[in-house]
Structure 1
């Protein structure tokens, strides 16, 4: 049985979505980010990322984390690559070259896109988007993302997918990274293939089920 540690309002959403795509039965253990709690060390605090019980599972104190038949792993995007390869099917690589491309695009998204996109989310979450400092930071992050959007837009022009001619774990991983930038509509208007691709990814039943649970989860 696969166990996923982490709340839906975290990067664990990626793993919950993939589990849904693969039809995997799993146990969900909610582990909340310690930064969201006034006193994560309180006796009545919910299980969180600095709780001793969780640190025994993942000493790094990061969510998501999975335990799969005794194998413990963290890093959400890497977890998805592992699960897709283990369970096979159309979401996984069918050739060595596809596997290499899935790894390449996932690492690209994590290093070149996610830091800028997450910065935008954090500014909005802090309700700082209307301050001069916040607007300037969003402008800088948006500017940094233009090249990445243009690159992915060109990649999607042929088949509408990141790797091959079908929806794969690479699409899912990138869709969850690019989702962070959805408030900046001008980026998507300038990259129509990215806009259409993200809408198609988010129209999938497994995404809708995951996101419904995410919205129902306490903030």
Structure 2
């Protein structure tokens, strides 16, 4: 059975959404970020990213991680590429060409989108969005993301999805990264195809089910 390590309020949401899309059974181990625990090594502390039991799974101390019948993987986007490849179906690549494209879009999201998007999210998470430094960070990252949005807007001309004219793991992976940019409404207003694509991804029942659990978790 697939085991997913990580609370839903983390990048583990990507793997929980994927498992629901594939319709596969999974076990959830709610490893929480150590920064959210007063004393992560206390005897009564919840399992967290500094817990020895979790470090035995991922020595880097980061969530998520998955264990799929003994195959242990620790990178959220790569986890999904693996799950798609193993379990097949419409989310998976139909041939080597699609596999290359899905991998390319996923790596692009990790290198060109997420670094800027995460800085924006963290600025809001720490309540710094109204400070001078916070405003400068958001402005700088939003400017960098303009190029990203423009590329997506062009690619989505005449397409509903990224690869193969259907929802695939590439869309899921990118949608989870683009979700971090949702505070930047001016970007979505400038690039309506990107906005429509993300809305289509978020309208899926598996995404909604994942988000219901995520929103029910303690902040």
What range is the shorter-chain TM-score in? Answer: over 0.9
Q: Cα distance, 1:156 vs. partner?
A: 1.1
Q: In terms of mean alpha carbon deviation, does 78-87 or 159-168 score higher?
A: 159-168
How far is 1:56 from its partner?
Answer: 1.1
Match of 1:151 in 2: 151
Q: TM-score, normalised by structure 1?
A: 0.99
How far does residue 39 in structure 1 lie from its aligned partner after superposition?
A: 1.3
- 1:182 and 1:57 mapped to 2: Cα distance? 32
What's the counterpart of residue 63 of structure 2? 63
Deviation at 1:55, TM superposition (A): 0.8
Please name the residue that 1:209 is paired with.
Answer: 209
Aligned length: 219
Q: CA deviation at 1:57?
A: 1.5
Deviations 1:64-105 (A, max 9, x none): 001111111110000000000101111000010100000000
Task: Give matches, 1:7-156, under 5 Å.
Answer: 7-156=7-156
Any unmatched runs of 5+ in structure 2? none
RMSD: 0.6
TM-score by length of 2: 0.99
TM-aligned CA deviation for residue 153 of structure 1: 1.0
Task: Output one character per residue of 1:180-205: Cα deviation in whole Å (capped at 9) or x when no partner.
Answer: 00001001111100000000100000
Matching residue of 1:167? 167
State the alpha-carbon separation in 1 of the partners of residues 117 and 97 from structure 2. Answer: 28
